[in-house]
Amino acid sequence: MNFPAIRVIFQREMARFSRTIIESLISPVISTSLYFVVFGAAIGSRIEAVDGVTYGAFIVPGLIMLTVITQSVSNASFAIHFPKFIGSIYELLSAPVSYREIVIGYVGAAAVKSILIGLVILLTAYLFVDLPIAHPIAMLALLAVTSFSFSLFGFIIGIWAKDFQQLQLIPLLVLTPLIFLGGSFYSIDMLPGIWRTIAMFNPVVYLMSVFRWSFFATADVPIAASLLAIAVFTALCLAVVWWIFRTGWRIRQ
């Protein structure tokens, strides 16, 4: 394992993040505050407690997942697409660096950025609500796994995209609807029967459920099913990344 190469890629990506750290951290703080004003105060005052939790606290895990997922995909996809766009990826591919080290460097940096932003949102939430964390270690582990798995997904999108317009296609048309319909701001138990059945086909539901469980010790779906869904998604992303570098699809073309 070429650790110096991993460190160089990782540090370069983190340096790009540090140059815009104010925008990167203040933006989610402002967005979180607006969500609390709109959902927590305006709408939450009209909604009774959900599963014994005040609505303002109930939406916090959803807000964290919403931001972490989108940031993971965005950071990782841009990080690998930009070298493709300007042609510098060929220098990286010709260097004595394996595809594993390239993936660890880029995906690791994107995941760390998303974890930091997720923790900032969590701290911001404490300014608005009293927020219990029933399983803090599980919460941190799930935050890390989510950041890593969706950074892998973003890495795949960055390689697949032929231009910057395509780079935004899947996040806007696929990922965002799945997140908002995945129980970010409501419990799927609140849905009518047929819609609850349909919601169970949304993979984000399982992620939201287990992450909310780490806060409130209640879940919409069995914990084992959620963990299995996350494991399958991560394994699929790893398999696709392996296939991409093995065949050179959209990299050497």
Q: Give tens-digit pLDDT for 133-175.
A: 999 999 999 999 999 999 999 999 999 999 888 999 999 999 9
> What pLDDT is stored for residue 153 in this prediction?
97
- Residue 114 exposure: Cα atoms within 13 Å on the Cβ side: 33
Residue labelled with tokens 């296939």: 243
The token duo for 113 is 């950025």
CA distance 78 to 82: 6
- Where residue 45 falls among pLDDT bands split at 50, 70, 90? low
For the chain, give percent helix, strand, coil, nearest 5: 80, 0, 20
Q: What separation in angstroms does the CA of 206 have from each of 17, 55, 199, 202?
A: 30, 20, 10, 8
With a cut of 60, say whether residue 209 has pLDDT above it.
Answer: yes
Q: Bridge partners of 126?
A: none
Largest CA distance in the chain: 60
CA distance 152 to 147: 9
Q: What is the pLDDT of residues 215-229, one digit of tens each?
A: 999 999 999 999 999
- Residue 161 exposure: Cα atoms within 13 Å on the Cβ side: 27
**What is the phi/psi pair of residue 185, to 5°?**
-120, 10
> What pLDDT is stored for residue 80 in this prediction?
94
> What pLDDT is stored for residue 41 in this prediction?
67
Contact assessment for residue 104 and residue 6, using Cβ atoms and an 8 Å cutoff: yes
Radius of gyration of the chain, Cα coordinates, nearest whole angstrom: 19
Domain boundaries, the chain: 3-247
CA distance 62 to 205: 10
For residue 166, how far is the Cα from the chain centroid?
A: 19
- Where residue 190 falls among pLDDT bands split at 50, 70, 90? confident
CA distance 18 to 100: 25
Q: Bridge partners of 53?
A: 50
With a cut of 80, say whether residue 28 has pLDDT above it.
Answer: no
Mean of the per-residue pLDDT values of the chain: 89
State if pTM tops 0.75.
Answer: yes
Listing DSSP states for 51-90 in one string gives TTB-HHHHHHHHHHHHHHHHHHHHHHHHHHHHHHHHTTHH
